[in-house]
Amino acid sequence: MKIAIFSDIHANLPALEAFFKDIDQINPDSIYCLGDLVGYNVWPNEVVKKIRERNIPTIMGNHEEALLKPPAKEEQLTNKGLTRSLLTEENREYLINLPRHLSLTFSNSWGDFNWLMVHGSPKSTTDYMVEDYPESEVLELMDQNRADLLLCGHTHKPFHKTIKVGDRYKHVINIGSVGKPKDGDTRLCYALIEFNQSLNSHNSDSLKVSFRRIEYDIEKAARAVEVSAFDNSLATALRVGK
């Protein structure tokens, strides 16, 4: 089985289109999105439309969560204010009603193998699950949620960490970002997870994780920022992957 997990599109339509082109070639069994569809660019409605057209299970990111708050009175609109001004009311309603997490359970002769999908961490959408997050805290959060595999985004920096606990293994995967990579690689990033009926917590190699890095039209995305009211620094960030 192949499952694709992506996140942090941030209204970057050219990146999302390139992602879907790759996805259509790989043809995974399932696709999940870990939030932050909007923010930082001019295509929030187009991005939401494409996600909804494909009926992709999606959770709330911190940029969607921000839309729950009453609009702030701003003389000069911030990133969040600009995003709100661009969004249709229908799409805002969709975004603010997204769930905060998704769980999957795969069962076989070895028992259950539980996945937990969050945006930041199980604590909140704004918590940064970085690679050097204290291991004891990670395990506590996973135990509280009975998770063998924790999937998250938000940092825009991908990693796969395996933690040995007795004779079992737990996995933490940060899937990176489709629309705003921050690891110095300007290509969009998402995670592809592959496994079969041997999936279990006793074998660290029973699931295979690969990070797909795909080229997209960065200049189109950057120029869209520069001719908009968004800060030009966002265009520079796309060009350098920061």
Q: What is the pLDDT of residues 180-201, one digit of tens each?
A: 999 999 999 999 999 999 999 9
Does residue 93 form part of some domain?
Answer: yes
Q: How far apart are the first and last CA of the chain?
A: 33
pLDDT in tens, 109-127: 999 999 999 999 999 999 9
Does residue 220 form part of some domain?
Answer: yes
- DSSP state for residue 177 in the 8-state scheme: -
- Domain of 224, in residue numbers: 2-105+176-240
Residue with tokens 């995967």: 173
pLDDT over 80 at 133, yes or no: yes
Does residue 123 form part of some domain?
Answer: no
Domain count for the chain, please give it.
1
Does residue 122 form part of some domain?
Answer: no
For the chain, the average pLDDT equals: 96
Confidence of residue 218 (pLDDT cuts 50, 70, 90): very high
SS (H, E, C) 101-148: CEEEEEEECCEEEEEEECCCCCCCCCCCCCCCCCHHHHHHHHHHCCCC
Backbone angles phi, psi at 198, to 5 degrees: -85, 0
CA gap 9, 23 in Å, rounded: 15
pLDDT in tens, 59-118: 999 999 999 988 877 767 788 999 999 999 999 999 999 999 999 999 999 999 999 999
Does residue 38 form part of some domain?
Answer: yes
pLDDT in tens, 2-49: 999 999 999 999 999 999 999 999 999 999 999 999 999 999 999 999
CATH number assigned to the domain comprising residue 215? 3.60.21.10
pLDDT of amino acid 187: 98
Does residue 115 form part of some domain?
Answer: no
pTM equals 0.96
- Name every residue whose Cβ is closer than 8 Å to that of residue 79 and which is 6 or more positions away in sequence: 39, 40, 230, 231, 234
- Name every residue whose Cβ is closer than 8 Å to that of residue 117 and which is 6 or more positions away in sequence: 5, 32, 34, 59, 101, 102, 103, 104, 151, 152
